[in-house]
Chains A and B, each alone.
Chain A
Amino acid sequence: MDEMLVHMENGERTYSRGKTPVAAVVSATCTIMPGDRIALMGPSGSGKSTLLHLIGGLDSLTSGRLTWPALGARETLRPAKVGLVFQMPSLLAPLTVVENVEIPLLLGSGSADKARAAALDALERTGLRSIADKLPEELSGGQAQRVAVARALASHPRLLLADEPTGQLDSATARHLFDVLLESLRGTDTALVVATHDKVVAERLNTVWHMQHGILEVAA
């Protein structure tokens, strides 16, 4: 059996808002295996983003246990092992498309030449090779999110976390973006977790997790 990528047990994340503690994630238990395709659904404010941030190592639990058995320590997750796609525009304005894509590779251990080659390859795979030298301000919203996906894929991560990547796109563009994402992952054992409101998106993935008031319901 493949080794687990992520394992969370009774994970809790509580924030302080003034003097009031707010529980964003309550006693969550889940496991992510290689090749998983998971849709994380739930209303706004239900704790989806917090859960993704915890899984991606951006945030830490208030209590409970979270490990990455196949990935190693939390500090080593990014940029090579975990890729991230955000809901908001996340490209760096002064860098071109290809430079944006190669950033995680340069932040990792690869050389500058290899990083550029891998970035171009990622753009090729996502059909964005022709806009490699454009600046983010010259792209449409859909193109920018596709570049963000290419950036997340460029380092061939074992786990890809996408936080409502289509949230700011129209349905046609969102569908196209999702097509690109799934197509790029076809044949790989990269696990995918997508936080989404979109049932159509969720239906295209193997597993659906639900969150409500910070409580995670993981399908059997």
Chain B
Amino acid sequence: MLTILWLKGLFAYRSGRLLGAIVGVALTVALLASIGVFIASSSATMTRRAAADVPVDWQVQLSPGVDASGIANAIGKSTAYTALEQVGYASTAGFSANAGGTLQTTGPGKVVGLSPNYRQHFPTELRLLIGSLDGVLVAQQTASNLHVTIGDTVTIQRVGLPPVKVIVGGVVDLPNADSLFQAVGVPAGASPQAPPDNVLILPDTQWRQVFDPQIAVRPDSVRMQFHVRITRNLPADPNTAFVYVQQMANNLEARVAGSALVGNNLAARLDSVRKDSLYALVLFLFLGIPGAILAMLLTMAVAASGVERRRQEQALLRTRGAATSQLLRLAALEAMIVGVGGVALGIAIASIAAGTITSVGLFASITSIIWTANASLVGLILAVVAVLYPAWLQARNSTVMAARAVVGRGRKPIWQRVYLDVILLVVSAIIFWRTASTGYQVVLAPEGVPQTSVAYETFLAPLCLWVGVALLAMRLCGGGLEHGRRVLASMLRPIAKKLSGIVSASLGRQYVRLARGIVLVALAFSFATSTAVFNTTYNAQARVDAVLTNGADVTVTGSTAFAPGSMLSQLKALPGATVVQPMQHRFAYVGNDLQDMYGIDPARISDVTSMSNAFFANGDAQATLAALAMRPDGVLVSQETATNYQLAVGDQINLRLLSASDHQYHAVKFHFLGVVREFPTAPKDSFLVANASYIAQQTGSSAAEIVLIHTTANPADLAIQVRNVVSALAGARVTDIGTTQKIIGSSLTSVDLRGLTSLELTFAILLLAGATGLILALGLAERRRTFALLAALGAKRNQLGAFLWSEGAVIQISGGIIGIALGFGIAQMLVTILTGVFDPPPEVLAIPWVYLVVMTLAAIASMVAAVLSTQIASRRPVVEALRDL
């Protein structure tokens, strides 16, 4: 009977506090469950995207003389597959062709034999530029070297046999030449082998006719491979998928016992994504956990706001004969309502969030189910800790606590006496220094090794900073409010006028409660700020990464023969094309190594694309480009080249460039100016950057193979117009930054992270509004007696408002300033610790002004709502208010 009465009372008279606690638990559960869903979702996306990028899953290389059908059978037993193609690779002494009355020759090359179905099964290996895929195909660079096109004859210099003539049917680009011509069986971590400079592709029947005789005389010059597309039912987690694919390949190698080696492209790709996956996990935890902790603190604060009333209720029940066990049963009932209600609401919110932002449902994977179950458990524990535990403490120690309230007045809490705040800040600084100064890797996923590790201890740096600043703020705010009443009074004079002294005295003596409120608001501000700043910085860097890959907002890539630079005036005329600039993309020999070479106008390149300081070893893009502009024959080279050739700034280098007049490579003098690490559209490994005008002068061709376009309009729309303009150029490819950003190599820029951060930013606003509004409202509600008395003594509405607005302002302004500063500190720390996420690393934090304004407005609106609702409540007839006391 008592239980039912209590329940009725709880819903009728304590519904605000009950609902506040339920919402707090719900936010905690929803955040934790959402993190789980996003982790599962992002892992699955990364695995799927990584696998989709792989042109050929396995390249199984047969040992000379081995029966191919036996290997094919073994492959079928080791894995289910959707495509299996036999491919021949033959080495040649070179190719030659007669073009324009001159004989063009090349160095050693490869001739690949492909079946007619190959392109259907492995569509991304070949990209037709001109002609037809049915006949003999010549690689773009080889066509350029031999100066041949469709219908021309190329002579293949076979090894140990007379040459053979073939007629070119088409020119192709080999986008995945690195993997197509990889050395199968080299140990993991070995330097990658450059693909051959000259490549010819024959239909497999013709290849057999040409090279079967060569197999007979020089079996070492010919290799046979099976290209395999395995059935893609991979585990969702990249690391698990990597181990799974690796084990299948091991199984095959065991079956064939040395007769074949597996080039496991799929495992290699998954291997490279594992680190991204772990970084994503770390990122989710770094960004999400503080929100969950904040939601827990909010729940506990909401529950604690009723502590005085609960004490009175307990006392009343005791006087009517209620035993401690009965009191605890009633508190347990309240905890159960808060826990079960909060968990149910939290799961509902997480489910909506999961359905809205990702395609993965809340219960779609084991990972997310485990996270949801754990989140629910945390929610139930939180309800017990927030509601039942304090009630138990009160019921058990009421006399002691009552005594302590007087005797312990003014005594500092233990954390203040042992300077826990200072200790935590020092620990944070030490861990951060250790992480930042030593290039410490938070995530380790050694290439080819199944085991991975995450240095979770680095979490301690931001966590200690967070808690340390919170405690320090509590100490300083408490001290400031207690001892700085005069200063506070003068600050409050605009609001409280002549009541400012009384108001500041009142606030000063409630310093513990107020300091807690300030710290809670500060933590909410810091969570929102750090999440927003990190997210904005991350997105800005993702864009820089995309610019780096794509070159500019819109990029046209062609060839020397069909150079998009020739259509510059038409491209400049397009509406929306703000800046249009040509860029040469040639090839140059550095010693025997053929490298990509980019010819730019250093004075204007930064008008069209981002030139980050991180691109250059000296960390100064402006100075490097100015030096290049000053020195026409200057060249920037990669770190690897500078080290291998022991180059010092000012050294002369002879590079061999293809001349437009005789189609031969000739030495051209350059002077080494510095090291370039990354450059728009350039590959990750070695490349060169020089003045376009000098390259044009030395090669006799000013053709610009790339055109970069900057736009203030939608890049995707502009790209459509650009495609129309360059449609006449054979093989010209138009890409825009948005599309590139979606398919960019690093999976961290996937939509999942954006989804989570959007959710977190929404949660951050909710928590901020909750922290400012709810705490203030509940705190003020608990002090209805004070306001009723003031009203009875004759306080007018504006005078009551002075107390309310002053308290709101003190909590809001102090919490806001501390929180925003802490948020930037945390964001800077996260960016530094998680440097591995960024490519290239950001130079400064990006500031999300709009979000910060929205966040502040939300907090102010919440505070205003809390104060106004209290003011409205205080408008009740004074007698009625006094009767309730």
* Chain A: minimal CB distance from B874 (Å): 14
The answer, yes or no, to whether A92 is at the interface (CB within 8 Å) is yes
Bound complex: CA of A84 vs CA of B882, how far in Å?
13
Q: Is B660 an interface residue (CB 8 A)?
A: no
Task: Please tell me which stretch of B62-70, B234-242, B732-740, B790-798 contacts chain A, meaning at least 4 of its Cβ atoms lie within 8 angstroms of it.
Answer: B790-798
CB–CB B406/A137 < 8 A: yes
The answer to the question of A58 belonging to the interface, with a C-beta cut-off of 8 Å to chain B, is yes
Judge whether A108 is part of the interface by a CB distance below 8 angstroms.
yes
B786 (CB) vs chain A CBs: closest residue: A92
Q: Taking CB as reference atom, which chain B residue is nearest A76?
A: B794
Is A79 on the interface with B (CB-CB < 8 A)? yes
Question: Quick one: which of A64-102 are within 8 Å of B by CB?
Answer: 77-80, 84, 86, 88, 90, 92-96, 99, 102
> A94 to B879, Cβ gap below 8 A?
no
A interface residues, tally (CB under 8 Å): 29
Q: Of A78, A88, A93, A112, which one neighbours B793 at CB under 8 angstroms?
A: A78
The answer to whether A59 touches B877 (Cβ under 8 A) is yes
Interface pair B793/A94, CB less than 8 Å apart = no
Stretch in B118-126, B344-352, B494-502 with 4+ CB within 8 Å of A: B494-502
B792 to A58, Cβ gap below 8 A? yes
Most chain A Cβ neighbours within 10 Å, of B498, B793, B794? B794
By beta carbon, the residue of chain B nearest A81 is: B794
Number of interface residues of B (CB under 8 A): 25
Check B793–A104 contact: CB distance below 8 A. yes
B92 to chain A, nearest CB (A): 94
Q: Does B727 contact A (CB under 8 A)?
A: no
**Are A103 and B877 in contact, with the CB atoms below 8 A?**
no
Q: Are A95 and B794 in contact (CB under 8 A)?
A: no
* Contact yes or no, A58 B879, CB < 8 A: yes
Contact present for A108 and B502 (CB under 8 Å): no
Task: Verify B792–A84 contact, CB threshold 8 A.
Answer: yes
Query: Known contacts A106-B499, A107-B799, A111-B498: does B505 contact A95 (CB below 8 Å)?
Result: yes
Chain A residues 111-159 with CB under 8 Å of chain B are 111-112, 135, 137, 151
Docked pose: A107 CA to B877 CA in angstroms: 18
Q: In the bound complex, how far is the Cα of B505 from the Cα of A95, in angstroms?
A: 7
Q: Whole-angstrom distance from the CB of B407 to the nearest CB of chain A?
A: 12
For residue A213, CB closer than 8 A to chain B, the reply is no
A95's partner among B405, B498, B506, B795 (CB-CB below 8 A) is: B506
CA distance A78 to B790 in the complex (A): 11
Given contacts A88-B885, A92-B789, A95-B502, contact A107 B796 (CB under 8 A): yes
Give the shortest distance, in Å, between A168 (CB) and chain B (any CB).
Answer: 14
B885 near A108 with CB under 8 A, answer no
Q: Does B878 contact A (CB under 8 A)?
A: yes
Of the candidates B505, B794, B885, which one forms a contact with A99 in the assembled complex, judged by CB atoms under 8 Å apart?
B505
B406 to A, closest residue via Cβ: A137
B510 within 8 A of A: yes
* Chain B 806-827 interface mask (CB, 8 Å, partner A; 1/0): 0000000000000000000000
Q: Are A107 and B505 in contact (CB under 8 A)?
A: no
Q: How far is the CA of A61 from the CA of B793 in the complex (A)?
A: 20
Does A7 reach chain B (CB closer than 8 Å)? Answer: no
CB distance from A53 to the nearest CB of B (A): 5
Taking CB atoms, residues of chain B closer than 8 Å to A86 are 792, 882
CB proximity of A134 to chain B, nearest CB, Å = 12
Minimum C-beta distance from B790 to chain A (A): 7
Q: A151 to B885: give the CA distance in the assembly, Å.
A: 20
Q: A107-B795, A107-B796, A111-B498 are in contact. Are A90 and B789 (CB under 8 A)?
A: yes
B509 interface hit (Cβ, 8 Å): yes
Closest to A104 in B: B793
- CB contacts (< 8 Å) of A107 on chain B: these are 499, 790, 793-796, 799
Q: Are A106 and B498 in contact (CB under 8 A)?
A: yes
Shortest distance in angstroms between B651's beta carbon and chain A's nearest beta carbon?
A: 77
Contacting residues, chain A, for B499 (C-beta < 8 A):
106-107
- CA A50 – CA B882 in complex, angstroms? 12
Q: Is A112 within 8 A of B501, CB to CB?
A: yes
* Cα distance A148–B723 in the bound complex, in angstroms: 87
Minimum Cβ distance to chain A for residue B809 (Å):
17
Q: Is the interface of B mostly helix, strand, loop or mixed?
A: helix
Q: Is A94's CB under 8 angstroms from B506's CB?
A: yes
Q: Does B505 contact A103, Cβ atoms closer than 8 Å? A: no
What are the residues of chain A within 8 A of B799 when measuring CB–CB? 107
Q: Which residue of B lies closest to A155 (CB)?
A: B794
Query: Bound complex: CA of A94 vs CA of B514, how far in Å?
Result: 12
Q: Which single residue of chain B is at the shortest CB-CB distance from A50?
A: B879
Given contacts A90-B789, A106-B498, contact A95 B509 (CB under 8 A): yes
A106 & B793 in contact (Cβ 8 Å cutoff) = no
Asked if A92 meets B506 with Cβ closer than 8 Å, knowing A53-B879, A106-B498, the reply is yes
Q: How far is the CB of A169 from chain B (nearest CB, A)?
A: 19
The distance from the CB of A112 to the nearest CB of chain B, in whole angstroms, is: 5
Residue of chain B at shortest CB distance from A13: B879
Chain B residues, Cβ within 8 Å of A78: 792-794
Whether B794 pairs with A79 at a CB distance below 8 angstroms is yes
- Tell me how far the C-beta of B798 lies from the nearest C-beta in chain A, rounded to whole angstroms: 11
Residue contact A59 to B793, C-beta cutoff 8 Å: no
Q: Which of chain B's residues have a CB closer than 8 A to the CB of A53?
A: 879
Closest to B787 in A: A92
Residues of chain A lying within 8 A (CB to CB) of residue B510 = 94
Asked if B509 and A59 make an inter-chain contact with CB atoms under 8 angstroms apart, the answer reads no
Our pick among A50, A92, A94, A112 for the contact of B498 (Cβ within 8 Å) is: A112
Distance between B877 CB and nearest chain A CB, rounded to angstroms: 7
A116 to chain B, nearest CB (A): 9
Instruction: Give CA–CA (A50, B501) in the complex, Å.
Output: 34
Closest-by-CB residue of B relative to A59 is B879
CB atoms of A102 and B502 under 8 A apart: yes
With CB as the reference atom, state the residue of chain B lying closest to A152.
B793
Which partner residue on chain B sits nearest A77 by CB separation? B794
Smallest CB-CB separation from B877: which chain A residue? A59
B788 to chain A, nearest CB (A): 10
Partner of A103, one of B502, B879, B885: B502
**A88 partner residues in chain B, CB cutoff 8 A:** 885
Is B498 a contact partner of A79 (Cβ separation < 8 A)?
A: no
Residue interface mask B484-508, A partner, CB < 8 A = 1: 0000000000000011011001110
Within the complex, the shortest CB–CB distance from A155 to chain B, in Å, comes to: 9
| Chain B residues with CB under 8 A of A99 | 502, 505
CB distance from A66 to the nearest CB of B (A): 14
A76 to B795, CA, bound (A): 11
State the CA gap A108–B499 with chains docked (Å): 11
A84 touches B793 (CB 8 A): yes
In the docked arrangement, what's the CA distance between A53 and B877, Å? 11
**Which residues on the A side are within 8 Å of B506 (C-beta)?**
92, 94-95
> What separation, in Å, do the CA atoms of A59 and B799 have in the docked complex?
20
Instruction: Give the docked Cα–Cα distance between A14 and B885 (Å).
Output: 21
Distance between Cα atoms of A111 and B879 in the complex (Å): 29
Given A94-B510, A106-B499: A58 and B878 within 8 A (CB)? yes
Nearest neighbor of B885 in chain A, beta-carbon distance: A88
Min distance, Cβ B506 to any Cβ of chain A, angstroms: 4
Cβ distance B743 to chain A, nearest Cβ, rounded Å = 62
Q: Which residues of B contact A112 (CB under 8 A)?
A: 498, 501
| Residues of chain A with a CB closer than 8 A to B793's CB | 78-79, 84, 103-104, 107, 151
* Bound CA span A99–B799, Å: 16
Q: Which residues of B sit under 8 angstroms from A104, Cβ to Cβ?
A: 793-794
Q: Shortest distance in angstroms between B785's beta carbon and chain A's nearest beta carbon?
A: 9
**Neighbouring B residues of A58 by C-beta, 8 Å:** 792, 877-879, 882
* The residue from B405, B505, B794, B879 contacting A108, defined by CB atoms under 8 A apart: B794
Q: List 14 interface pairs A-B (beta carbons < 8 Å), by A numbering.
A: A50-B879, A58-B879, A78-B794, A79-B794, A80-B794, A84-B792, A86-B792, A86-B882, A90-B792, A92-B786, A94-B507, A99-B502, A107-B499, A151-B793
Given A92-B790, A104-B793, A106-B502, 6 extra CB contacts under 8 A: A77-B794, A79-B794, A94-B505, A94-B510, A95-B505, A102-B502
Q: Which residues of B contact A (CB under 8 A)?
A: 405-406, 498-499, 501-502, 505-507, 509-510, 786, 789-790, 792-796, 799, 877-879, 882, 885
List 7 tightest A-B contacts by C-beta distance, closest first.
A79-B794, A78-B794, A94-B509, A94-B506, A59-B879, A58-B878, A53-B879
